[in-house]
Structure 1
């Protein structure tokens, strides 16, 4: 029989032993857990998830069927940001709704702004001159579209004061892709892409490639967010750079799974190479087919596959063009013999239907965000494949 003394001592020893075991288990569990990663939009989420395959799943912040324009975070999404070890976003030129909450996270976690990372090729937002030059319209450039003073915005949209910029941009919306206020409908006043601040480059940070206004990040660098088009994921070469950097960052914050991340990066990079080859072959048959997009979100895709987009329906995807603009656009369609006008699922297609009425042009759909795709590691490839399929289908339709 145990003595009273030993009876008191033994439970204490058992308690201490149990506490020690539980503590050890807890530490091991924590050590084995995947890092908490929050990602802004579906295409980037897919790339990040492909790197985390076999370790964990990142949190998708923005609803996949939504547009970043005027988006407001729900409390659960704010909590996901606050609880994360790493946040991956494109940058304030796209996801303005993340600018303020992420500024409050500085120094607390890894925040990866993809427009600033090494290896990313950036294309400048297009003005009418750049747009026409890129597509070799030569002497038939439409100088009459250079007068932007008469643009009529028929719709006003209230977005909590963050997007009131109609008075700042009186632009012709056919060729003037002065995209400083619009990215997938992402016009944002709070970071009004200050046109007075020119982007500063030096030779070590950027170099021009074959296209004027294109820049390659050789090292991480902050830039004027209004100068560059943020739709960087629509270049497969950029996707490779994103995957590589995400793998490196994950390995830093979770060294236990570093080998898995790096193996995934290698596999995903190879898969992306095959995807690019497939799309290149598929799109070669429509490279000389002119078309209009709903708004200028696709130049990374266009340049990577040498496509012939000739303009966009609107600069601000949330503002329909007025009657004057419709007339000008219909003239562009006739003169350029645009084979197709592409709408987007996030926005009402009424204006596209009006534009195409009684004209020899088809209507298709392009979705730069993959709003109808299931999230997961295959979503990015599905998005890019869908763009290729929809372009070829519309541009070759009789």
Structure 2
């Protein structure tokens, strides 16, 4: 476990409060640069999946900055005092609770009226934990989609304690639900441009629906349903398309797997006829390559899309998700 996660909550809250008190008037902070002075809605996004939504839906009416710079592993983000202070100058904040503890704390202290938690716009589920590394959420029957329950509230009080998986953006259907909610919230925050926000939301949702259909068709008939990955970020995707994710570690990409889990992966790989061990671009590939070598398997990249860099297999969310589909089709033996 990364030692930065062990900082006492009280100490973090104190640092956040201090940063906000001392720097709330700093309009030139890293988080808020470029907004406000040009008449655009000053939007702060927590990391890339939120940034993409804000930019695609906001279009020319928003100035979007992100708290997580390209190439930074978002789960362990540490905010600078300027970023913390600058949050209070935002017109609109879009984040995803449960991914970045430092952001969760800072947003709670910022007091911005138009603050949207994307986790509250869909239903979160449990797909295992960072302790045992297991994926418990896939549908062995391979049925496309799942019942989210009529009348079920989207609240996520205590989600981290309950072990709920925050990686909703890797399921195009859930991401489309979030996009709808973001669009509606932008209409409310900036009613003068509501028609444009609605139009942009409809366009994006259409693209996400097309992506969903591509995944459904492309992964319908495969030689195996099991894929092995270092980062258990693909539980929603696996459930949506009838696959089985086997994470070497858990939801934390930096967590070290136990010897027992490594042995378990060996057994699963043999029984499922898995062909590939996937790793990602923003975390070490050492464990994946070692395991693949031991098992005589291939390695490949399955991007959890937590950030776009020059190493990404695409320029934006849609392009990288299409690359992920191609990688999965090859690894699973798509027919």
Structure 2 partner of 1:98: 103
Q: Deviations over 1:330-361 (max 9, x none)?
A: 23322332221111222211111221225342
- Is 1:89 aligned to 2:95, yes or no? yes
The two structures have a TM-score, normalised by structure 2, of: 0.75
Q: How many residues are treated as equivalent by the alignment?
A: 288
| Structure 1 unaligned residues grouped into runs of 5+ | 1-29, 138-208
Distance 2:156 2:284 in 1: 35
Q: Deviations over 1:151-175 (max 9, x none)?
A: xxxxxxxxxxxxxxxxxxxxxxxxx
SS at match of 2:76: coil
Please tell me whether the aligned partners of residues 116 and 223 of structure 1 are also in contact (alpha carbons under 8 angstroms).
no
The two structures have a TM-score, normalised by structure 1, of: 0.64
Distance 1:111 1:344 in 2: 30
- Is 1:69 aligned to 2:71, yes or no? no
Structure 1 partner of 2:128: 126
Structure 2 partner of 1:50: 56
SS at match of 1:57: strand
Q: Deviations over 1:358-385 (max 9, x none)?
A: 534221111212534479xx72212321
Structure 2 partner of 1:109: 113
Distance 1:250 1:33 in 2: 15
Structure 1 partner of 2:273: 337
After TM superposition, the structure 1 = structure 2 runs for residues 233-272 of structure 1, keeping only pairs within 5 Å, are 233-272=169-208
Root mean square deviation of aligned Cα: 3.0
Could you say if the C-alpha distance between residues 57 and 217 of structure 1 is closer, same or farther in structure 2, counting changes exceeding 3 Å? Answer: farther
Q: Which has the higher contact order (CA 8 A, sep 6+)?
A: 1
For 1:223, which of 137, 150, 157 is the aligned residue? 157
SS at match of 2:165: coil
Distance 1:282 1:52 in 2: 31
Distance 2:205 2:261 in 1: 43
Q: CA deviation at 1:43?
A: 1.6
Distance 1:302 1:101 in 2: 32
| Structure 2 unaligned residues grouped into runs of 5+ | 1-35
SS at match of 2:188: helix
Structure 2 partner of 1:197: none
For 1:382, which of 297, 315, 319 is the aligned residue? 319
Please tell me whether the aligned partners of residues 170 and 234 of structure 2 are also in contact (alpha carbons under 8 angstroms).
yes
| Higher alpha-carbon Rg | 1
Distance 2:113 2:43 in 1: 10
Q: Deviations over 1:86-130 (max 9, x none)?
A: 111110x21111122112123x3211111122xx13222327899
